[in-house]
Amino acid sequence: MSNKDNLHLQVALVQSPIKWEDPQGNRSFFGQKIDQVKEKVDLIILPEMFSTGFTMSPENIHEKEGDITLQWMQKMAQKRDCAVTGSMVYKEENHYYNRLFFVFPNGHYESYDKRHTFTLAGEHKKYTKGTKKCIVEYKGFKICPLICYDLRFPVWSRNTKDVDLLLYVANWPAPRVNAWDALLKARAIENMVYCIGVNRVGKDNEGHLYTGHSGIYDPLGERIGFSEKDETLVRTLDKAILNKYREKLRFLEDRDIFTIH
């Protein structure tokens, strides 16, 4: 077995309620959730806007809270000796972003701004959309982190960079959760990747209900982890399985070539 096959990534999907517009309360809450993970994991994944809930009033959040939460993520990553990722309200140069941070165990980080702001909720009126994808290399896996509504746009998710894992953090409401399930599976199959979606549960202050359905799908679309309740899912991704399917089926070799403008 080659070194590229002898690789594993143990992931923890933290699916839980979120306190509305309460960054300090959520940092404390998610800190407890992280402390409760008994396994030695490589990556902890938190939901979209985990420090506030999916608020369309970013002006209610003090502009320093983004950096405070990022520093908290760095502290958690160093404490657990693993990567931590999730998105938050972040203000920079008088613009608000729905910004995901991927924080490495040493405290270094990469970031991604949500490309597809959710027009149905008016997110496009409050948050500036991102323009660039982010590809993270970690523990022998190439990871592409994306955010919620991005899931509906297969061109943006398309595996043109030999990515191993598509990772979506979300606040995806119950009435459309069937689409969430179907699209996560589809993104895994069409891109020959592991695909992870981390959603929240509970009801927010706008009255939206979230029923979780956080899941992990293998490159053939088989679901290897799933939850509808307040819990943390821990699963291991095996690079050898991914490479086996790709070498046997070679579907990615027939993909269309295109440029996104």
d(CA 80, CA 76): 6
Phi, psi (deg, nearest 5) at residue 189: -65, -50
d(CA 4, CA 238): 10
Angle at the Cα of 109 (from 103 to 111), degrees rounded to 5? 100
Query: Is 42 within 8 Å of 82 (Cβ atoms)?
Result: yes
Tokens describing residue 257: 């070539």
d(CA 30, CA 229): 16
The set of catalytic residues is 48, 114, 148
d(CA 220, CA 246): 10
Query: Is 221 within 8 Å of 189 (Cβ atoms)?
Result: yes
Query: Is 221 within 8 Å of 192 (Cβ atoms)?
Result: no
Strand residues in 114-251 grouped as ranges (E):
136-138, 141-147, 165-169, 194-198, 201-203, 209-211, 214-217, 223-227, 231-238
Q: Count of H helices and E strands in the chain?
A: 6, 14
d(CA 225, CA 12): 11
